[in-house]
Amino acid sequence: MQEKDLTRLFKEGILDNIISITEKFISGLTSFAKKDLSEELESFSETLKQIPQEKKNLTEEQANALLRIFTAAAQPSFAKRFMGKVDKDVYFIFGEYLNSLVPKANSKIASITYEYLNLFRYPSFLTRVYNEKKWEPLIHKLIFKSNYNAKILFNQRARDYKSKPLFKVVKGNYVAEYSWEKSAELVKKYQQALFSALVKNSSADNNSKIAFLLDNCIEMALLDLACLTGGIVNVMIPANSVTEHIRFILKQSEASVLIVHDEKQLSKIKSLKNELQLKKVILLKGNSSEEWVTNFAHFLSLAKENNVEQDIEMDAIATIMYTSGTTGEPKGIMFSQTNIIYKRFCRAMAIPEIGDEDRF
């Protein structure tokens, strides 16, 4: 392909061609002519190569068009093949270009960066860049500078996977499935209820932490996601913790709200209540006559009272996980949003063969 300026590249239909291929692929037309796919990939690579060479910001129109290309290419059924063919060196150079712009540029550049990161994760690409260390600092910078937090990542997955299962819960001989769409709805509802609980039970100088003393269950996973995607700091207490360790953790973390699994776990808290700053305990299973305890159904009813969304900072604490304290007092490990998100990318780069078709 001959050198072309950006205006001509966009006007000559690269955008329309890539979106057309994507739509056909999703519709079930899975057999592409090799020539057709290679031509579109060549056009896409040429576009990505030309943009940094221009050494200037994209226009609003160009940014919108490029965002549409990346978003269209991100459909999982197409992205696997797409990222298996894209020129890895051109993709790296374009990543450096994005890094030079965010967060100084407009929000469209940040959105393009999110889709760039979303495409990067596919095994068809990662296996081709395995052990190329230059990617690690680039990905870290893009995550941090673009504010690619858990909320953005989760919303991307819910958009891309929709009705596909996120969780499967075994109940006797029955397996309950929770799709990405259903999970996203529940996460949003839980998040609104959590914000309401914090507003009602936190003082102005409180760090607004919610502690979990829960057995392994679907509600715990969804509540955890609600916190991570809402910018709410949650404190994970091992379910097998003894009373003295629970006391230590709740005092040190200064959590104002605690969610406990059942009456057995609640009994541990009753003996400690007067020593703690706890304002409210939410009981997942069962009911209690204690004034400071509310059942889960009432907790969920609080969701309609609140539709708060707050900014999420990448270097702020996202969650605190405590050890079981087998060799002394429990130790709290603090994770930021950057820690959590970058760790996912590091794992993907270290084990590139594992992708979205694998099950855990």
Planar angle of CA 317, 320, 158, nearest 5 degrees: 70
Show the tokens assigned to 35.
């020539």
Show the tokens assigned to 114.
């999110």
pLDDT, position 265:
94
- In this predicted structure, the answer to whether residue 101 has a pLDDT above a threshold of 80 is yes
- In this predicted structure, the answer to whether residue 1 has a pLDDT above a threshold of 50 is no
pLDDT, position 178:
97
pLDDT, position 332:
93
Q: What percent of the chain has pLDDT over 90?
A: 59
Rounded Cα gap, residues 331 and 187, in angstroms: 28
pLDDT, position 29:
40
Its pTM surpasses 0.85:
yes
pLDDT, position 64:
82
Instruction: Give the other-Cβ count within 10 Å of 222's Cβ.
Output: 22
Q: What percent of the chain has pLDDT over 70?
A: 84
Q: How far is CA 266 from the centre of its chain?
A: 31
Mean pLDDT of 287-296: 92
Task: Give 310-360 pLDDT, tens digit per residue.
Answer: 889 999 999 999 987 667 889 999 999 999 999 999 999 999 998 887 775
Torsion of CA 294, 303, 207, 295, to 10 degrees: 10
Phi, psi of 170 (to 5 degrees): -85, 120
Task: Give 149-200 pLDDT, tens digit per residue.
Answer: 999 999 999 999 999 999 999 988 999 999 999 999 999 999 999 999 888 7
Task: Give 122-135 pLDDT, tens digit per residue.
Answer: 999 999 999 999 99
Mean pLDDT of 54-65: 77
